[in-house]
Structure 1
Amino acid sequence: MTKSDTTSQPAVAREIPLDVPAADGITLAGTLTLPVGPGPHPAVLCLPGSGKLDRDSNARRVRMDLGRPLADALARHGVASLRYDRRGVGATPGDWHAVGFLDNRADAAAALRALRSHPEVYPRDVGVLGHSEGAVHAMWLAAHAQPAAAVMLAGYARPGDQAVRWQGTQLAATMPRPLLPILRRLAARQLNRLATSTTDTIRIGGARMNARWWREQLAYDPRPDLARIKVPVLAITGDKDVQVDPGDLDVITQLAPGAETHRVPGLTHVLRRTDGPATVFAYRKLLRDPVDHEVLTHVARWLADRLR
């Protein structure tokens, strides 16, 4: 895939609110985007990355602005989509700090059930798509909930603690060398506190941390679930991703035979491309631009071809 410029597009979809009943009774506030024209339609559940994210993958300080462009690209290719606010974010109630990694997975499963049951959707033609943490939940759903297809954008394929340590190594490479021993000791101490915690939240350096999410994520190994997947898989990671090892695409290929994988030149974890160094410190500038158009188009076409 190559980079191309984005252009303004006419309205190709209509949006309606869709409340998702979670297993514990909480209502997840969502948006169902439908292609123009009569239904029912094939559809995709869209799952965000980690953090306090709303249905458009936006947090207060980091705005991915992924949800709407992705929904529009899918609708343009005749595919409906559902996205929703996480617990404690936007219009969904709850305490985000107390929500676990496995809670996010359970909510994703509930959203998949709600999408399948909607009258505007073909229940047998529903796929799952996730970015970062959402890609890992998409892997689990693909293995256990029998969607029609699965897309993994920047998803890791190793135990969570290994994925976090790899990410830390990439971050350390951008730090002043004299500080590295101190920073490594501090990071190891904090990870150990999170991994051995027993409460939903703890305080580290005065900040309230979602300890349950961290220890569940650190303990989860997606590889057994990857090996169980029988549906079509598309996995995309950029070669300038410093939060997920692009080499994990090889693991996906080995464990999920037939998976289509792409290591996209210049693509970063925030799904924008750069000609500069691979570093999280470039995100602020990169996020001024829209999500990579070629990636969105490739994903939408791939799903449209497999959900009909």
Structure 2
Amino acid sequence: MSTDGVLREVRFSGRAVTLAGSLGVPRGSGGAFPGVVLVGGSGSSDRDNDTYFPPIRRHLLNAGFAVLSYDKRGVGESSGDWRASTLDDLAADAAAALDFLRARPGVRADAVGLFGHSEGGWVALRAAAARDDVPWVVTNSCPGTTPAAQERHALANSLRARAAQRDTEGILALYDRLTEAGRRGAGFTEATELVDSAGSPSGLASYWAGMDERLWAFLARKQDHDPVRDAARLRCPHLAIFGGADELVPVADSVGLFTTTACRPDRDPHATLTVEVFPGADHRVRTGEGAHLAPGYLSRLVQWIENRAPAPASGRSPRP
């Protein structure tokens, strides 16, 4: 818990689910606070996104932001099952979290935006693109590619890291066959047969380990999701943050895709793009073997949001 804020447990309705989370509001008075909704990454991400969100939440609270994060559907105290959902369902949950925070006493409804980490970036982009009252959106280590392309990139890096791995191309070809199987609606049984017929190579583990029928169906549903389509529909500023040494995300390709989208002539004039790449940082924008958030990360995040939050009714300008 921040020394400058109080956390309390909250519940609110998502799309046909009840979501549980933690709401932090800065201590003291001085008018209504701007707000941030933190959206977790892939898998069973809870309100803390493992251990990633607490230091970010703490810094935002200390900077004067109300912060809401929540357990993904089917995780922690939230009902439902994320494996049975679509990215549209998850985006509807993020939008519900946004509306819940906007309605809290002491929170400036016009100054609440979305921060999505990894898969949560796709979710935040989808939620923000669907409405015109989001003042800004931050994607943190969010690929600009499809999930299928991102997973292949991550698998290739995993294989390269295994010096003894002899069949890198064969394993990537197997991944491609699995992707095509998912694209044509093949079930988990057929996917398993593909893996078994290839000898269940150990190098596929970073992708295949823990796979079951529900997870296979979820990944197949989302594998061709194109975040560029949502980025193109934004009507608000977008900050895209990356770690330069992120082995899970094709950073250069993602920067290029988001930048090309920002240059489209039909882009909304309010939909500016800012890209921050922190050299040497990993998927969680950490350096020093993942021990600490990259130098300048938190201060840059807060400054960017402050400079794009609408000025309060009193007329006070955002910080320079």
- Report the TM-score range of the alignment, normalised by the length of the smaller protein: 0.7 to 0.9
- 1:120 matched to 2:102? The reply is no
Query: TM-score, normalising length from structure 1?
Result: 0.82
Q: Partner residue of 1:192?
A: 180
Letter of the 1:129 counterpart: F
Q: CA shift at 1:66, angstroms?
A: 1.7
Query: TM-score, normalising length from structure 2?
Result: 0.79
Return closer, same or farther for 1:79/1:200 CA change in 2, 3 Å cut-off.
farther
Q: CA shift at 1:198, angstroms?
A: 6.6
Larger C-alpha radius of gyration, 1 or 2? Answer: 2
Q: 3-state DSSP class of the match of 1:51? A: coil
- 1:225 matched to 2:225? The reply is no
Q: CA shift at 1:139, angstroms?
A: 1.7
Letter of the 2:59 counterpart: A
Q: Partner residue of 1:36?
A: 27
Q: Partner residue of 1:109?
A: 95
How many equivalent pairs are there?
A: 281
Unaligned runs of 5+ in 1: 1-8, 59-64, 275-284
Question: Could you tell which deviates more after superposition, 258-267 or 211-220?
Answer: 211-220
CA contact under 8 A between 2:2 and 2:58: conserved in structure 1? no
**Aligned match of 2:167 in 159, 179, 204?**
179
The percent of aligned pairs where both chains have the same amino acid is 28
Distance 1:241 1:117 in 2: 36
1:101-138 alpha-carbon deviations (Å, 9 max, x no partner): 33222211221121222223111111111111111122
Equivalences for residues 272-291 of structure 1 within 5 A: 272-274=286-288, 286=290, 289-291=291-293
Distance 1:44 1:236 in 2: 16
Q: 3-state DSSP class of the match of 1:178? A: coil
Cα RMSD over matched residues? 2.5
- 1:304 matched to 2:300? The reply is no
Unaligned runs of 5+ in 2: 196-209, 264-271, 312-320
1:216-273 alpha-carbon deviations (Å, 9 max, x no partner): 3212111122122231221111110111111112322221253111121101102211
Distance 2:186 2:249 in 1: 27
Equivalences for residues 59-138 of structure 1 within 5 A: 65-138=51-124
Letter of the 2:217 counterpart: R
Q: CA shift at 1:10, angstroms?
A: 6.4
Higher relative contact order (CA 8 A, sep 6+): 1
Distance 1:22 1:148 in 2: 21
